Every structure is written in structure tokens, then in C-alpha cells.
């Protein structure tokens, strides 16, 4: 009886029963075991059926996996080529890591969860990231208050200097736009803080005293961050006296104590001066109308000169109270640093104002001279009359 199997049929059956796997297909992912690691060249055993190789830039991913790989470690890689000239399957750690990273980004975007990232570089518009070839951008407007570069006059070079300091620092962000096809992300640090900010804002009370850190200093005041929130100490709330430059009262990063004096939606108003006694309370008792005071001229403006009476207390000598001359040039009569005497002619404790007058001092002196002259003339008339009567 003839054998029903031909040599060809027997071979096909053996192949079918041997469990030989098809070679990995480019564009797919495979699991393997590290055989050896030599510099940036990794040999990978693929389930005993073939050997893969990872080399060059394909061995570098955002997690620096190559640095920790040891023979025997399990590895997940992307198939670039079915076989190279050495008969090895070309694999990529970078592409595999990129796929994992994309999955993490997509999951975070769809679930509206926060993630942690680090910027690679900065430009005047914001922070740039590159994670496994995926490009991300955090616009300046999307930075949290603590990191927002508050710069007078929007000086682009100063803004860039501030942003550069954030490169390499872990930042918690949310993805607000994801373009898988273009490989780009738009991230927001501010959005990541919205939930905690809302809770913190609800718990904030007017009159509450808190500690925070200076996050920005501009010509109109000082920004302070605290508990995920940021508020403004307006220049008028920094000190009881005249504040010429807010920079004289702190620097970026300084810890300060503040009082909450107002909140309107996202705007929080703070005060530094209200944590100290109001010197004007005592001033109303000390500087009564008609009192003559002496002090140093510390500021001259077109409408008058300010005299320092004591710390945080200044009086205003209005231009009309300097002299009786019409339309006088105040700089011709007073100089900064000069000590003068003046009379208190008005005091308004609520508006923290003391009105002074030099002219009133002159007028008083002139009135006294006139009175003395009239008194002397009267006495002389009486003496003449007495002589004539004799």
C-alpha cells in the first residue's frame, strides 16, 4: 500500500505542529528579554524565535531606560524593521516609550487629570517640552500665579529670564488641547490648580491674617501667593506712609504676613500696613489745627510740598499755602531736605491728611507786627495828647 504522505506533506505538517511564530510585523509592539547591553546597543530575545536589536537614538527614551537595563530584564519595544542585513529585527525603545506616553496623555486628557512634566526650554511666549518626540507648550497665560512672570512694561528679555528659571523644574499641569496627529499638546498649570483654588477661595475670610510669599513686584503693588491662591497688596496698602517704590518692601520669594481685605471672584485684595497700628490715630490728637510744627521737606510736586512730621506721617503744604504770591514756582521757595516750620490748618484722619501752611505763619507774624505798630502809634498819640493838655 502506498504511503499517503508525500515528503512535502510531511514537512508542512511538521512545520504546522512545531508552533513556529510569524516574525514580528513593523509597526507593532513586542515583549522580549534583554540578552546583552553594550553601550547603546541592546540585543533582545523575542520568545526564543528571533533576536531583535535596539541601537542609536532608538535606544534613548524619556525615562532613560537604557541606563538601568540588565541581561534578563523584560522589555517592551516597537518594531521598526522586520530584519536588517545581520538578520536581526530592528526595534525601538523610543517609539515604545512614546506610545506609552501618548496613552498616558490621552488618558489624562479624557479624564481631566493632572500630570507632572518638566520644560526643556523657554521662549518669551511660554515653556516648551519634548517628551519622546511629543511636543508640549505651556503658554505664559497658563502658568500658575507663583510662576507667572509679572514684569513692569512687559519687558520681553526679563520675561524670558524669569521663564528660563522654570526649565527643569517639575510642574503639575492639565492638558487643555491634544493633537495626536500633529504630536502636540497645550498644557495649563493654572487649570491644574483650579479645583484646589476654588476650595481655598471659599475658605478665605475677610480680615484673615495669613503668611505667603512674594510672587511679583510691579509699580502698582506686590503680588503674594498663599495656599494655592494669589492676591495683590496695592501700593496704597503696603505702608501707612507714602510708598515710592514697592521694591523697597521686599523681593521675589520673601515670606510676608498679610491681611485679606477683599475678594471679588478671582481677585483677592491684601494689606500689609493693616497689620501694624495706624499712626494717624495718635496724629489726630497730636497735630491739632493751629499747632506749629517743624519738619523736613521730603517730596515736592506741582501741587505742593510734603513735609515729614514723623515715620509714616507726612503733611501737605499746598502751593497756595506757601506764599501769598500768585502762581508761584514752589521750587523757588522750598527744597527737598530743607527744614521748615508750618502751621496745621486742617486734619482729616479718615483720609490720612494733614494740611499745613507756611503762609499762615507769615500772616500771623505780619499781624503781630501790625498790632504792635498800631499799639505803639496809639501810645505815642496818647503821649502827644497829654503834652498838649499841659
Fold of 112-192: OB fold (Dihydrolipoamide Acetyltransferase, E2P) (2.40.50)
pLDDT tens per residue across span 135-149: 999 999 999 888 888
pLDDT score for 364:
57
Nearest to 160 by CA among 169, 151, 173, 170: 151
Q: How confident is the model at residue 1 (pLDDT cuts 50, 70, 90)?
A: very low
- The CA–CA distances, whole Å, from 2 to 5, 6, 42, 222 equal 9, 10, 53, 101
**Grid coordinates given for 343:** 502751621
Domain 16-97 fold is OB fold (Dihydrolipoamide Acetyltransferase, E2P) (2.40.50)
The count of C-alpha atoms lying within 13 angstroms of the C-alpha of 179, restricted to the half-sphere facing its C-beta, is: 10
- Helix extents (H) in 92-172: 93-111, 156-164
Give the CA distances from residue 44 to residues 103, 119, 142, in Å, rounded to whole numbers and listed in that order: 24, 32, 43
Fold of domain 287-363? OB fold (Dihydrolipoamide Acetyltransferase, E2P) (2.40.50)
The pLDDT tens digits of the residues spanning 17-53 come to 444 557 788 989 999 999 999 988 999 999 888 999 9
Q: What is the mean pLDDT of residues 229-256?
A: 90
Every domain of the chain and the residues it spans: 16-97, 112-192, 203-275, 287-363
Task: Give CA 281 to chain center in angstroms.
Answer: 36
Using pLDDT thresholds of 50, 70 and 90, give the confidence band for residue 14.
very low
* pLDDT at res. 15: 46
Position 109 pLDDT exceeds 90: yes
Q: Using one digit for the tens of pLDDT, what is the confidence trace for 3-13?
A: 555 555 555 55
- Nine-digit cell at 233? 497688596
Cell of 82: 522586520
**CA dist list (Å): 292 to 129, 145, 297, 334, 351:** 67, 49, 15, 18, 21
Q: List the one residue out of 275, 276, 219, 226 whose CA is nearest residue 248.
A: 219
Amino acid at each position: 500500500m502506498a504511503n499517503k504522505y508525500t515528503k512535502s506533506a510531511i514537512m508542512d505538517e511538521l512545520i504546522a505542529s512545531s508552533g513556529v511564530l510569524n516574525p514580528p510585523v513593523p509597526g507593532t509592539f513586542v515583549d522580549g528579554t534583554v540578552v546583552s547591553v553594550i553601550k547603546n546597543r541592546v540585543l533582545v530575545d523575542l520568545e526564543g524565535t528571533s533576536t531583535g536589536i535596539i541601537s542609536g537614538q532608538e535606544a534613548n527614551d524619556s525615562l532613560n531606560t537604557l541606563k538601568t537595563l540588565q541581561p534578563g530584564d523584560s522589555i517592551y519595544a516597537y518594531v521598526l524593521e522586520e530584519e536588517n542585513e545581520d538578520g536581526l529585527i530592528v526595534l525601538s525603545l523610543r517609539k515604545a516609550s512614546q506610545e506609552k506616553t501618548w496613552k498616558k496623555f490621552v488618558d489624562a486628557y479624557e479624564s481631566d487629570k493632572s500630570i507632572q512634566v518638566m520644560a526643556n526650554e523657554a521662549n518669551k511666549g511660554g515653556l516648551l517640552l519634548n517628551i519622546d518626540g511629543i511636543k508640549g507648550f505651556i503658554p505664559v497665560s497658563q502658568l500658575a500665579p507663583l510662576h507667572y512672570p509679572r514684569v513692569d512694561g512687559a519687558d520681553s528679555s526679563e520675561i524670558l529670564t524669569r521663564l528660563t528659571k522654570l526649565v527643569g523644574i517639575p510642574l503639575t499641569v492639565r492638558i487643555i488641547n491634544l493633537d495626536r496627529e500633529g504630536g502636540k499638546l497645550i498644557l495649563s498649570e493654572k487649570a491644574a490648580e483650579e479645583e484646589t483654588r476654588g476650595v481655598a477661595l471659599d475658605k478665605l475670610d475677610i480680615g484673615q491674617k495669613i503668611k505667603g510669599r512674594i510672587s511679583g513686584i510691579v509699580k502698582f503693588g506686590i503680588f503674594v501667593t498663599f495656599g494655592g491662591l494669589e492676591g495683590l497688596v496695592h501700593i496704597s496698602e503696603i505702608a501707612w506712609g507714602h510708598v515710592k517704590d514697592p521694591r523697597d518692601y521686599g523681593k521675589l520669594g520673601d515670606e510676608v504676613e498679610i491681611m485679606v481685605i477683599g475678594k471679588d471672584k478671582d481677585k483677592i485684595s491684601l494689606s500689609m500696613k493693616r497689620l501694624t497700628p495706624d499712626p494717624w490715630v495718635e496724629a489726630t490728637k497730636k497735630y491739632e489745627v493751629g499747632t506749629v510744627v517743624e519738619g523736613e521737606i521730603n517730596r515736592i510736586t506741582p501741587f505742593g510740598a510734603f513735609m515729614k512730621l514723623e515715620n509714616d506721617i507726612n503733611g501737605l503744604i499746598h502751593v497756595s499755602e506757601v506764599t501769598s504770591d500768585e502762581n508761584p514756582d514752589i521750587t523757588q521757595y522750598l527744597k527737598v531736605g530743607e527744614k521748615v516750620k508750618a502751621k496745621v490748618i486742617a486734619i482729616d484722619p479718615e483720609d490720612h491728611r494733614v494740611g499745613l501752611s507756611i503762609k499762615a505763619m507769615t500772616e500771623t507774624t505780619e499781624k503781630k507786627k501790625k498790632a504792635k505798630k498800631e499799639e505803639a502809634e496809639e501810645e505815642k498819640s496818647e503821649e502827644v495828647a497829654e503834652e498838649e493838655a499841659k
